[in-house]
Copies of this chain bind each other. A is one copy, B any other.
Amino acid sequence: MNLRELSDLLGLSPTTVSRALNGYPEVRAETRARVAEAAAKHGYAPNFQAKKLATGRSMSIGHVVPTSRHEMINPIFGDFIAGAGETYSKRGYDMVITVVEDDGEEAAYRSIHSQHKVDGIIVHGPRQDDPRVPLLNALGVPYLVHGRVAEGETGYSWLDINNKRAFERATNLLLDLGHRRIAFLNGLENMHFAQRRRVGHEIALTERGVPVDPEILFAEEMTEPFGYETTRRLLAAPNPPTAILTSSLITAMGVSRALSEMGLQLGRDISVITHDDELSFLPNAGDVPLFTCTRSSVRAAGSRVAELLIDLIDSEEKAHVSELWECQLTLGRSTGPAPT
């Protein structure tokens, strides 16, 4: 069933039917009702491709996901997508995901744009000096970065959490509890968020006059074994830390596994603070959660990022927007005073 058939059926012109369905004012209420009813009855829905072509809007948002980078699919991806997807369905947009090999990333952005596949793009996992920002600026597509790129850069829109502040606070908490030797299991530091977390951590240490020991700073893919193995190694070596900071709950679970295998108690023998993205399958919940954490929902971020981007697309003036979210610092059972 297409527009023409429906309009023939009703004895109206396609124009009138189209207008009735799209809420234009030039249609009598009664006619509109008749059209709506007939459309529902015959299961008519406009052909999306045709609509897109006619309006010039694709009503789709693109997400480009590089895949082979370390073969690690970010576990937060699912929750982020769920959040974004909610917004999309509310606002009538589709989500188009392009999975691409690392080296095809730029080409993917270019082709997605030149083919008019999307009205806007969301940039995932920004690195320091991410080349995608100048690229997308050059292409002139509306886009929004989940996270940020290098400090100086201002010519783009973003939503980020205050990674620096969160890890500064977390480190301060550990210092307040008397810890002086704090290991940090960070994500890969070419990622902007990891960079900022490290900066926050070091600022806190430096302000208290605690030396930064690069020997106990690690930056890797945030897997469970990373937490496990690093912890085992750290605690077997001389001068082990009394506290561990991790960038991911998954890594923290690895830390926890190592500790209990070694007969050490979380929060008594070793304190741990982790960042918690509030992933649906890894709740760190309860009145007193297991892990003390810096916390921010990545699902909520996904939802908001999508909203901001759509607003950006709809709005005429193309000013840049940005939002910086503070994390909660939530006390759990994994922190306690440094053992003496």
Question: What's the Cα separation between A225 and B285 when bound, in Å?
Answer: 9
Known contacts A257-B257, A280-B73, A281-B250; A99 and B116 CB within 8 A of each other: no
Task: Provide a sorted-by-A list of 21 A–B residue pairs whose CB atoms are within 8 angstroms.
Answer: A48-B116, A49-B49, A49-B53, A67-B85, A73-B82, A73-B279, A77-B78, A85-B97, A85-B98, A85-B100, A86-B99, A88-B98, A89-B98, A89-B104, A94-B96, A224-B283, A225-B283, A253-B253, A256-B257, A257-B260, A260-B260
Q: Which residues of A contact B (CB under 8 A)?
A: 43-50, 52-53, 58, 60, 65, 67, 71-75, 77-79, 81-82, 84-86, 88-89, 94-100, 104, 108, 110-111, 114-117, 222-225, 250, 253, 256-257, 260-261, 279-283, 285, 299
Question: What's the Cα separation between A107 and B87 when bound, in Å?
Answer: 17
Residues of the B chain whose Cβ atoms lie less than 8 Å from the Cβ of A46 = 115
Cross-chain contact A99 with B74 (CB below 8 angstroms): no
Query: Given contacts A50-B53, A82-B99, A224-B253, could you give 5 more A-B pairs where the C-beta distance is less than 8 Å?
Result: A89-B104, A89-B108, A94-B117, A224-B282, A250-B281
Min CB distance, A312 to chain B, in Å?
Answer: 20
Question: What's the Cα separation between A223 and B279 when bound, in Å?
Answer: 10
Cross-chain contact A65 with B49 (CB below 8 angstroms): no
Question: What's the Cα separation between A160 and B97 when bound, in Å?
Answer: 24
Which residue of chain B is the closest to A86 with respect to CB atoms? B99
Residues of the B chain whose Cβ atoms lie less than 8 Å from the Cβ of A84 = 99
Residues of the B chain whose Cβ atoms lie less than 8 Å from the Cβ of A98 = 85, 88-89, 94-95
Residues of the B chain whose Cβ atoms lie less than 8 Å from the Cβ of A111 = 45
Task: Indicate which residue in B74, B260, B280 contacts A281 across the interface (CB closer than 8 Å).
Answer: B74
Cross-chain contact B280 with A71 (CB below 8 angstroms): yes
Cross-chain contact B116 with A49 (CB below 8 angstroms): yes
Min CB distance, A287 to chain B, in Å?
Answer: 13
Cross-chain contact A45 with B100 (CB below 8 angstroms): no
> Most chain-B CB neighbours within 10 Å: which of A49, A73, A82, A88?
A49
